[in-house]
Amino acid sequence: MSDLHELGALETADAVRRGEVSVLDVVDHALARAETLGARLGAFALLTPERAREAARALDTGTDPASGGPLHGVPTAIKDLTATAGVRTGRGSVIYRDWIPEVDDDPVGLLRAAGTVSLGKTAVPEFGLPCYTEPADAAPAVTPWDVTRSAGGSSGGAAAAVAAGIVPVAQGSDGGGSIRIPASVCGLVGLKTTRGRVPAGPAGGDPAGLSVAGPLARTVADAAALLDVLCGGRAWPGEPFVPGNRPDGGYLAAVRRGPGPRRRIGLCTTVPYGDLGPLVPGWAGATVDPVCAAAAEDTARTLESLGHVVEPVDVRLPDEVVGAFLTLWATLALGDPVDPADEPRLEPLTRLLRARGREVPGIVALGALQTVQVATRRIVAARAGFDAVLTPSVALPPRPVGWFRADGPEVDFARQVAFTPWTAIANMTGEPALGLPLGWPEVDGTTLPVGVTLRGRRGGEDVLLALGAELEAATPWAHRRPPVW
């Protein structure tokens, strides 16, 4: 089959199950695209073709496809922040370019056990800190819809690979929007999961619980199937956060059950903070591009046409809450050990954030965490009457490569904050948030995705996925193909 990349993840597994194609055929096809198209898009930090083909042969000879799970035989890739035993995991940094972990992070083992085959490691920015993916020693990750524009970050390589039809699904992680931002600018479904939903062992994730793993896919059903895999189908003793129960039968079953009850949804298209000049050096203000606001407003009208109730909602954050999150972000930038002699080799933005983190006394960092926890209670309580809150995913259309970095690290960070005004709210609260590829405006003569996001209640991924599937049926997007396809 010469058009295997046209198949989604569930469709690929079905083809393998029916004997129409072998796992090795599927993997060879994906590797061929990864070696050519992936290089053009900056999608991969590393390809592991020998390991991938070995895994594919083992599945073809050792497992009855009919007994495999929903993603048996599906090619995928691992984000380069996720430790993979025996495979270089560079974390987007020249400092870690030779690091080979001895153990897998939990998502890697879960993906392998489900019968998926990793082609390698997807590109990330240094330590996953920026919302774009432009590593110092590699080509930038770009959106397949316009290769002069960023694929977002920090799961930018994963999103580029999925959007270009190299792999149908990929694992990402999200500490401040790092799944939803790439999903928005690459035209994908991206789910930031409830805190604790996906196991974070053995390292345990960040101590504030901001970052979680989740799926990137071209359809809601494929995202739900990958979420089932990443959850592992059981509770994980020792995990520090309790996410709530999964739906009976899993997330894919919840999507396939069809539309659920009619929901009450809040709509916000305004920036949730005011002048951040005192908090963010280089701040030049934040505005929402009309095409991004229109994507959310159009989605609201679609939801209303489907019988849901949509009402305006205020999601404004007090300055002290924004400041607390920024403090946590700076201190967490110190999470990757670096020899002091190697600090000058880090990217300017990384050095800036780590320098800010070193200036934060321990008691202040703890106070910031407490402020975020107190704010979380208020935010969740204030939205208790809503099943979800709808916003644009980002405030501007996909940015040109180099736009964030053009005027130094302080302006770089300020532009990132302005570009992603809503995303960090879900990371602070621990709630799930589903990015959907709705909104396809023409920008400078090119059709580009901008995306919308539904933030739900803790443990409510099933509700978000059901809403996403309903929107996908009403306003299909799976037929869209980027120019590089």
Neighbouring C-beta atoms of residue 136, cutoff 10 Å: 16
Active-site entry in 22, 93, 178, 184: 178
Q: How many CA atoms lie within 13 A of 229 on its CB side?
A: 32
- Let me know if 150 is a catalytic residue: no
Q: What would the two tokens of residue 418 be?
A: 């302005």
Query: Cα(347)–Cα(97) distance, rounded to whole angstroms?
Result: 14
Strand boundaries in 253-406, DSSP class E: 264-267, 309-312, 388-392
Distance CA 419, CA 423 (A): 10
* Strands 264-267 and 212-217, sheet pairing: unpaired
* Calpha distance 253→267 (Å, rounded): 28
pLDDT of residue 2: 65
For residue 367, give the 3-state DSSP assignment.
Answer: helix
Q: Please check whether residue 317 is in contact with residue 372, taking contact to mean a CB–CB distance below 8 angstroms.
A: no
Tokens 């916003």 — which residue? Answer: 391
CATH numbers and ranges of domains, the chain = 4-474 (3.90.1300.10)
Is the preceding omega at residue 361 within 30 degrees of 0, hence cis?
no
Compute the Cα dihedral for 482, 170, 157, 330 and give only its sign. Answer: positive
Strand, coil or helix: 263 = coil
Rg (alpha carbons) of the chain, rounded to whole number: 21
Query: What is the enclosing helix (H) or strand (E) of 376?
Result: helix 362-382
Contact between residue 404 and residue 412 where contact means Cβ atoms under 8 Å apart: yes
Indicate the residue type of 260. Answer: G
Nearest to 118 by CA among 226, 253, 279, 239: 226
Residue 66, pLDDT score: 73
Q: Shortest CA distance to 365 belongs to which of 340, 341, 330?
A: 330
Q: Please check whether residue 150 is in contact with residue 185, taking contact to mean a CB–CB distance below 8 angstroms.
A: yes
Distances (CA, A) of 336 to 83, 107, 174: 13, 20, 17
pLDDT in tens, 356-373: 999 999 999 999 999 999
CA distance 225 to 345: 40
Quote the CA–CA distance of 106 and 204 in Å, as a whole number. 10
- Cα 422 → chain centroid: 14
Pairing between strand 433-436 and 309-312?
unpaired
Residue 260: HSE in the Cβ half-sphere, 13 Å Cα cutoff: 18
The pLDDT, as a whole number, for residue 188 is: 99
All residue ranges of the chain with pLDDT < 70 are 1-2
Contact in structure between 426 and 432 (CB atoms under 8 Å): yes
Pair of tokens at residue 196 = 């604790």
Tell me how far apart the alpha carbons of residues 123 and 46 are, in angstroms, rounded to a whole number.
8
Active site residue 93: no
Q: Which residues pair with 390 in a beta bridge?
A: 267, 454
Cis ω on the peptide bond leading into residue 281 (within 30° of 0)? no
| pLDDT on residue 1 | 60
**Which of these is catalytic: 93, 118, 154, 173?**
154
CB 462 within 8 A of CB 15: no
Would you call 173 a catalytic residue per the annotation?
no
Count the alpha carbons within 13 Å of 110 in the hemisphere toward its beta carbon: 27
Q: What amino acid is encoded at 305 in this protein?
A: S
DSSP structure class, residue 340: G
What is the average pLDDT score of the chain?
Answer: 96
d(CA 75, CA 377): 40
pTM: 0.98
Residues near 159 by beta carbon (within 8 Å), at least 6 away in sequence? 141, 143, 151, 152, 170, 172, 182, 183, 185, 186, 188, 190, 216
CA–CA distances in Å: residue 242 to residues 118, 252, 281, 378, 424: 29, 21, 37, 20, 20
**Packing angle between helix 362-382 and helix 319-332, nearest 10 degrees?**
130
